[in-house]
Amino acid sequence: MMNIPRSLINLRFSLTDLVQGRLWLQVIIAMFLGVSFGILIGPTTNLVDRDTSELIAGWVALPGNLFLMGIQFVIIPLVVASVIRGIAAGESSENLGRLGLYSMLFFVAITLLAVVIGIVAAVLINPGSYIDSSLLSLAEPENAAALNGVTPAEMPTLKEFPNLLTGLFPKDPLATFVSGNMLQIVLSAIIIGVALVAMSQDQRKPILDLLGAIQTVCMVIVGWVLKFVPFAVFGLLASISARVGISTLLATATYVATVLIGLLALLAINLLIIAILGRTNPITFLKQSREVILLALSTSSSAAVMPLTLSTTERKLRVRSGIARFVIPLGTTINMGGTALYQGVATIFLAQVFQIEIGLSGMILIVIMATGASIGSPGTPGVGIVILATILESAGIPASGIALILGVDRILDMCRTSVNVIGDMSASIVLNRIMQDEAHETPAKTHPEAENPDSVRSSAS
């Protein structure tokens, strides 16, 4: 029997103690191993043929797909219960109106700023000038199949706008919850929550108790699912790396760098807002939210990490339940600053590649369209490409150019999703501080349920 050196045994136990209980560290290790394994079986090394590589990638991605399905299983009941309880048990009707107005102003302002940052970064760096002209063959019509069925949506005319706005509002709450339309689900929950605020405490208590039980069940299931996060992260990143390969990254390296620089600038602005308006240490914020950020980076879905985002915002960032349960689901639905920035960069980049002059009026059009299209887009992987196709068509840029950037879209999707989630949490912190300051200046009546926030918060544990 081979004797294992005592030092190796001690090292093993030290590493085990270090990793256990630290989800963020497990996710980082899984990310590194997943990318390494994906590159190993991918086209870069040619160790296995293409069909075998895709077969392995499909099986390796299975834990990640099951993880996403597990989150999707509880996301709708959790959103409905959290929003309704957050409104009915957390804020008065007067505060709720201000909170909704402040939230919308915050989200629209950040999204507008994000698009402008993306356009400025693309104009200054000019990534389109670094593209080899031979790559334009990827965008030829005969290669349109590479777009995987991506087609732009038709822009509504002025005559169609009233019907479009009417269609945003839910008609039947039960049908809306089944449909999976997150914007209508959040609106339905808000309407029900506001109605409960108008009721007496005795009348709304049974409904709140039922929703609290539903919320608790959902969080228990989320706890089970989160135990498989490292395996899910490994599988998802291994599958992506195996399909993308390093060669695709190198071909569009300047474009990728431009998007990442823009996202870092948007991240810096979010942290500055947290420090100034939220009066919170940005370093402390990043430490407390690192698990959410890493999980968003791995899954490319702000909706998939919403339960963890909500829990982290309430427990670690100390945001009041009534505000967190209103802002986080709403932000997951309409706060897409990272996505809007990416669309601004991609549009200018492809205009440079095809040598299409985008004047000031064209840039204003891009800003308006990217902002409007990002707000309300579902927080699921790959949705940015569909939105981008619509913007390109409206700006007179061939949508077939998406084939040039399709290979690296998932990697950029991971990064912009993390920034989106950070934006949701920063909005919660800032709005929590603003509402607290207003409450100190003008004392308002609170509901009995809101007097003990720990009782509300315990339902999510």
Q: Write the CATH number for 191.
A: 1.10.3860.10
pLDDT of residue 7: 45
pLDDT of residue 461: 35
pLDDT band, very low/low/confident/very high, at 414 (cuts 50, 70, 90): confident
pLDDT band, very low/low/confident/very high, at 430 (cuts 50, 70, 90): very high
Rounded to whole angstroms, what are the CA distances from 299 to 78, 218, 384, 414?
Answer: 19, 19, 15, 7
In a domain, 185, yes or no: yes
Q: Cα(107)–Cα(115) distance, rounded to whole angstroms?
A: 12
**Among 7-21, 89-103, 279-293, whose mean pLDDT is lowest?**
7-21
pLDDT of residue 419: 93
In a domain, 9, yes or no: no
Over the stretch 383-397, which tens digit does the pLDDT of each residue have? 566 677 777 777 778
* 354 pLDDT more than 60: yes
The set of residues, in sequence order, having a beta carbon less than 8 Å from that of 461 and lying 6+ positions away, is: 216, 219, 315
Over the stretch 88-101, which tens digit does the pLDDT of each residue have? 765 555 566 788 78
Q: Which domain holds residue 55?
A: 24-445
Q: What percent of the chain has pLDDT over 90?
A: 15
**Mean pLDDT to the nearest integer, 23-27:** 71
In a domain, 56, yes or no: yes
The set of residues, in sequence order, having a beta carbon less than 8 Å from that of 353 and lying 6+ positions away, is: 128, 131, 136, 401, 404
**Mean pLDDT to the nearest integer, 58-77:** 81
Over the stretch 290-300, which tens digit does the pLDDT of each residue have? 889 988 888 77
**Among 30-39, 43-52, 172-181, 448-457, whose mean pLDDT is lowest?**
448-457
In a domain, 453, yes or no: no
pTM across the whole model: 0.71
**Among 14-28, 107-121, 252-266, whose mean pLDDT is lowest?**
14-28
Contact predicate 240/38, CB 8 Å: yes
pLDDT of residue 431: 92
Q: Cα(264)–Cα(100) distance, rounded to whole angstroms?
A: 28
Count: domains in the chain = 1
Contact predicate 421/391, CB 8 Å: no
In a domain, 225, yes or no: yes
* 378 pLDDT more than 60: no
* 113 pLDDT more than 90: yes
In a domain, 421, yes or no: yes
**Mean pLDDT to the nearest integer, 166-192:** 75
In a domain, 457, yes or no: no
Residue 156: DSSP 8-state: P
Identify which has the larger pLDDT, 373 or 393.
393
In a domain, 8, yes or no: no
